[in-house]
Every structure is written in C-alpha cells, then in structure tokens.
Amino acid sequence: MKKSLLLVLMVVSLIVSGCSQGQQQVENQIVEQKLKVYTSFYPLYYIANQIGGEKIEAKLVIPNGAEVHSYEPSPRKLADLERSDIFFYNGLGLEPWADKVVTNLKNEGVKTVKVSDYIRLLKFEEHGHEVEHGHEVEHSHDEEHNYKHNHGEYDPHIWLNPINMIDIARVMKEEFIALDSDNKELYNQNFTNFTDKIESLDQDYNDILANKKQNYILVSHASFGYLAARYGLEQLAVSGVSPHQEPSPKDLAKLTKEAQEHGIKYIFMETLVNPKTAQVLAQEADLEVLTLNPIAGLTKEEQDKGEDYISIMKQNLSSLRKALVD
C-alpha cells in the first residue's frame, strides 16, 4: 500500500513539474514576443511607452539623472543594445556616440531611426543668427563656432515643441506596426490617445501665453528654441546649446544690460545642470529665479513622484505664466 501511494505521489509530482515547466516556457515565449525597443534618452523613452504599451520592452541608453550632452554608454549597455529590435535616437549631435553605434547596429541587423529626420528643424544661419519664425536671434562668433562644432547646424532640442512629439510618435507607431503588425490596432489607438493629450497640452500653452506681457525669456542655457518658436517667445541664453559652454564676463555684462532693457525680472534655471553662472547673473541683474525644465531626463525626485513629460511641461507652463503673464 505504501509503495502504491509513493508511486502515485511520484506520478503526480512529475505531472505538476511538467505543467510548471510548460507554463514557464509559455511565459518566456510571451516575454520574447515583446518588441525590444531601445531609446537614447527620456523623451523618446516616454513616447515609446505611450505608443507601445505592454507590447514592447522599452529601455534607455542614457539613464535618468545623467547629463545627456556628455554621457557615454558602457560596453555592457552597447552589447545589450545590439540585441534590440529597434533603436530610436535624436541625432543632431545630441548623442555624440550615436553615429558610431548606429553603424554597428546596422551591421547586426538592428533597425535604427533618427527621429530628427522627421522634424522641421531650427537652423543656425551664418553670422551667428538663429531663425525662429522669422525672427533672428544674435549669437557671438565663438558661441556659433562651438555650437556647430558640438551639434552641427541645427538645434537638437526638438522635443520641447509638443507638436514635434506627435510627429515622433507617428514615426514610432509606423515602425512598431512594421515589426509587429498583429498589434496594429493597439498601436494606432495608443497614438490617437497620445495625440489627444499632447494637443490638449499645446492648447493650454496657447491659451495662457496668449495673454503674455513679455516675449523674452532669459534661460541658463539655450535649450528652449523650439518651445520659444512654437509660442512666439524670444530666448536669451546665459550659455550656448551645450550647458558646459561658459559665457565670458563681457557676455554676462551684455546679458545683464539686455535683461534691464527688456524689463526681464526672472531667470530660468534648469535641472541636471550646474547653475553657478546663471546664479551670478541673477545676482548682478537682480533677477528672481524660476525653473524651466528641458526634460532631457528625470531626476530621482521626479521619478519618485511619478512625473512625466506632460506633467513637467505643465510645470514649465506655470513658470512661464508667472514670468510672462501674471
């Protein structure tokens, strides 16, 4: 009797074990069916998750909290990147390492997409002028040289115009459908939902800034050209497109004078950037400090609070409202 009972228990154990292994294999297959999507930095990561949802596994190359202009990915991360299905990056020199990586990924059969190819770009013209909706913004010769050396001819901060986010999302949607046509309906619906949210954000900006009393914004570094162009603002920057470009005493004196001439009462600081130079200017020109976030990455505090692109853009709008409307 005991031997029979033992035999029954062994059979049951094998059946349960087999079922468990089978279930694990099914679960592994489900995970493997997800598109493995790599994005270079946060705004693209945010869009990918909004469009792909649970059907993708999205990863970041540049981690939140890192300075996007100077980050270099590790060999381990680059090796993992080669195992992805698709890689989205900004381009325009924002990721100095990207061109070489893209060449390697193409050799490995990984699809790569430079999203700035699908955006109407702001170009820095000769003689240090940036064209923004018919306005010309002056830059020093040195600033123009450093800009072109580091970034080429175009401003890379395309994501700060919300409408550009829709254009990027459309590209991602089409790429996901091409790779995973079974979920076409889901990707299309997610794109529609995302577009609705971004258009609502854009309308909030237009409604509030329609009552602005001031067109000039003084910022710690020149990240906000696309936002300024979208909403009829003029950007005056303490440092160039790279936050590591330090202005000369002469430049600071000129900015102090311009702040006074235009009646500017506020200077906008960024997260993830050393504010020392901008703080000096704030003291020199007697300016109040506000935050304007370029959203290239999230701080730990922002992650803990569950902040995202839209919530931070709304915070930016509150800062702009205080400086330009109230």
Q: Is the dihedral of CA 216, 219, 225, 230 positive or negative?
A: negative
All domains in the chain, ordered by first residue: 35-122+153-200 (3.40.50.1980), 211-325 (3.40.50.1980)
Beta bridge partners of 124: 130
Beta bridge partners of 258: none
Give residue 180's region: left, alpha or beta (phi > 0; psi -120 to 50).
beta
Given a contact cutoff of 8 angstroms between Cβ atoms, the answer to whether 237 and 288 are in contact is no
The pLDDT, as a whole number, for residue 25 is 53
Q: How far apart are CA 235 and CA 225, in angstroms?
A: 7
Q: How far apart are CA 52 and CA 176, in angstroms?
A: 7
Q: How far apart are CA 167 and CA 45, in angstroms?
A: 15
Q: How far apart are CA 89 and CA 238, in angstroms?
A: 27
Helices (H), the chain: 2-33, 42-52, 75-81, 98-107, 141-151, 162-179, 184-209, 225-230, 249-261, 276-285, 300-304, 309-324
Q: How far apart are CA 179 and CA 89, in angstroms?
A: 18
Q: How far apart are CA 320 and CA 233, in angstroms?
A: 10
CA distances from 34 to 76, 111, 129, 149, 193 (A): 22, 15, 46, 39, 21
The pLDDT, as a whole number, for residue 252 is 79
**Order of strands, edge to edge, in the sheet holding 216-221?**
234-239, 216-221, 266-269, 288-291
Residue by residue, pLDDT tens for the chain (326 residues) are 444 555 545 544 555 555 555 555 545 554 458 999 999 999 999 999 999 999 999 999 999 989 898 899 999 999 999 999 999 999 999 999 999 999 999 999 999 999 999 999 998 642 233 433 333 334 444 434 333 434 568 999 999 999 999 999 999 999 999 999 999 999 999 999 999 999 999 999 999 999 999 999 999 888 999 999 999 999 998 866 455 556 678 877 888 888 889 999 999 988 756 667 677 778 888 899 999 999 999 999 999 999 999 999 999 999 999 999 99
Given a contact cutoff of 8 angstroms between Cβ atoms, the answer to whether 232 and 203 are in contact is no
The pLDDT, as a whole number, for residue 124 is 66
Q: How far apart are CA 205 and CA 267, in angstroms?
A: 19
DSSP annotation of 117 reads G
> What residues have CB less than 8 Å from 153, skipping those under 6 apart?
123, 124
Q: Is the dihedral of CA 114, 96, 44, 310 positive or negative?
A: negative
Nearest to 246 by CA among 143, 126, 151: 143
Residue 201: helix, strand or coil by DSSP? helix
Ordered DSSP codes for 263-321: T--EEEE-SSS--HHHHHHHHHHT-EEEE----SS--HHHHHTT--HHHHHHHHHHHHH
